[in-house]
Structure 1
Amino acid sequence: MGHHEAAKAARTLRHRALLRAGLTVTAAGAALAGAGSAAQAAPVAEAPATGQSAMANDLAAGAQGAAGAVGYAIAPAKSLRLDPLANTGVDPLNNGVGTQVADFQPVSTEMATSPVTSGGALKDLPVAGQAAGLLPG
């Protein structure tokens, strides 16, 4: 190995070290700038007028916000597909048991399991769907 090849390798190592140091300093500066801007104080709210309770206003606003948020959070859950493997060849829930005794009508479990195995959601289930209808959203 010649002398000129060793100098090139050392130069490359120095460049990488300087690049890493520069990136580290830049990241630290960005983190400090972000922390400094987040630490600013929020404006002070005015005191309520006489006869009004700040606690009652806060509780009413909080309850209204929570009621609205619950509806938006529950609505997708009611229409979410319960069995992600439904209508596929590998669905482990797609099994039913049936029997028929003499001349009586056949009895099967497919009537109870078909809403789930056909890709239904919570709102499509016979009893739970009616109960889910009572939920907001």
Structure 2
Amino acid sequence: MTEGRPELTWTEEPTPLWDADKAAAFSPAGPTVHGLGTPAEGDALGDAWWRVETTTGEIAGFGRLDDTWGDAEVLVAVVPAFRGRGVGAWAMDRLGEEAAARSLNYVYNVVPVGHPDREAVASWLGHQGFDARDTGELRRRVTTRAATTAPSQ
């Protein structure tokens, strides 16, 4: 049995940099398989990044959003010690909220062919509401909080 999800915080990184914490979260796949190249410690990263921490200050993972043309590619990386505890789903929900705040239409992800857990990640994304496309892309429509909580007519 896995432990429950810890209390978490979501903090935007104003100047995202590659560091040991991100390297741990991307293990064992590494940054290259996710299209991030081979960053060295302290290298600047593009796009918008958030850090997921426990309320005691432990880094549990990261979320990334790359918005273009009304949609956004999203990526969640969870530190191994926190995997299987709901941290990734929590972070994906936060990324959905960030996309809604930017008035985006869809969030999407493409699980790279070289990913060591490709099928498991694609299945997990399906459980998060992403639909598979023939192109290999998995997409989920962005909904605003108002749209999801509005009373039915």
Report the TM range for the smaller structure's normalisation.
under 0.3
Q: Which structure has the larger Rg?
A: 1
**Structure holding more strand per residue:** 2
**Structure holding more helix per residue:** 1
TM-score normalised over the length of structure 1:
0.17
